[in-house]
Amino acid sequence: MKYPAVHYHDYLKLNQLLSSQSMRSEELGAPAHDELLFITVHQTYELWFKQIIFELDSVLSSMQASPLPERTMGTIVLRLERILAILRLSLGNIEVLETMTPLDFLDFRDMLYPASGFQSFQFRLIETKLGLKEDDRLLYNKTSFHSHLPEQQRDLVLNALKSDSLLGLIEKWLERTPFLQANTYNFWKDYQSAVFEMLAADRQVVGENSILPPEVRERNIKLIELTEATFKSLFDEEAYEKLRKAGEFKMSLKALQAAVFIQVYRDEPILQQPFRILSALTDLDEVLTSWRYRHAQMVQRMLGRKIGTGGSSGHDYLKDTADRHRIFSDLTRLATYLIPRSKIPNLPTEIRERMDYSKVFPT
């Protein structure tokens, strides 16, 4: 054997692992059967959170390179997809926990004060490293989210707040996207023309449709005008910045335009990995939102309108975080700014050839 032998039990340190489920109800002389399930599920969460942080730190380290080497793109995609798989798996833990009835939970719930899932510093660290800023968070019992953490854990979260987040690094990466403008080509100018030509054609079709009742025609025209106003914010940097300052957008206009470009021309070989990264981030936001919402539903099922063990409003607080704590919302709403493939401007030959590996690296 090349390396010293190791036993499965020792390698996984099962003695420590399997002896880490200390039931508080037993310690207090009132054993509650379902407490073991409650502990096991939450310890499983924390183990997976540890893995997510490990993968996320790797992605952050890779994304800090400028320029970002093409050879690392595949690794970034795979690790983001691994994080997604873990989060999707974690949704299943809620189903397991819901095999415990509200009465089963009440057998030991009062013994848990003031412990709360909100005190999971690993989850707060994940949110922070992804890009959830302190100003965008809901207050917890009218205090900062990190004020409830022990000093050492609070320091880790505060350091993460000062460091580059995935959202910030993605924004910088998108701002460096090539192809958007060349000596004789400006993608956004061409895209703007295509958008307004499409909307003008839609307005003409509605206006000339004699079958539509006047009120329906008027309503459709107003919808077209609303769509036009939405697009205009992406063609006017000053208007966009006003919306950004008002909290409508997180990323810069240049970054968002690049994201639209990647979505529109995602079939080009050189843009396929960037498209997978944007898709993974969109999925990540969606899964986190689903997890928060399912968690809120479970809490309502278990507690009704009672407050949580940590003193929060329980279900209401968790449901509100599902709505408010979206990190990659700019990417989630990209579909708003897409147009049908038949309307997409053709790329100049010189640009298209630069995107094709067979042209850049001929065989």
Sorted by where each begins, the domain ranges of the chain are 31-163+267-325, 178-265+333-363
DSSP state of 176: T
pTM for the model stands at 0.88
Query: How far is the C-alpha of 30 from the C-alpha of 114, rounded, in Å?
Result: 19
Please, which residues bridge with residue 186 across strands? 181
CA angle 315, 316, 320 (to 5 degrees): 115
Q: Which two tokens stand for residue 328?
A: 């990659």
Count the neighbouring beta carbons within 10 Å of the beta carbon of residue 253. Answer: 21
Contact 85, 283 (CB under 8 A): no
Strand 185-186 to 181-182 pairing: antiparallel
Query: How far is the C-alpha of 313 from the C-alpha of 126, rounded, in Å?
Result: 23
Buried b / exposed e across 5-33, counting CB within 10 Å, b at 16+?
A: eeeeeeeeeeeeeeeeeebebeeeeeebe
Contact 97, 70 (CB under 8 A): no
Query: How far is the C-alpha of 50 from the C-alpha of 121, rounded, in Å?
Result: 11
The Cβ-side half-sphere exposure at 51, using a 13 Å CA radius, reads: 17
Would you write out the chain's pLDDT as a tens digit for each of its 363 residues?
899 999 999 999 999 999 999 999 999 999 999 999 999 999 999 999 999 999 999 999 999 988 888 889 999 999 999 999 999 999 999 999 999 999 999 999 999 988 888 788 999 999 999 999 988 887 776 777 787 788 999 999 999 999 999 999 999 999 988 776 666 778 888 899 999 998 898 899 998 888 889 899 999 999 998 888 888 888 888 989 998 998 889 999 999 999 999 999 999 888 999 999 999 999 999 999 999 899 888 888 888 866 655 555 567 777 888 788 899 999 998 988 888 898 898 888 888 888 876 554 444
Buried b / exposed e across 228-243, counting CB within 10 Å, b at 16+?
A: eeebebbbeeeebeee
Contact 25, 108 (CB under 8 A): yes
Q: Which two tokens stand for residue 253?
A: 């206009």
User: CATH assignment of 31-163+267-325?
Assistant: 1.20.58.480
Peptide bond into 67 cis (omega under 30): yes
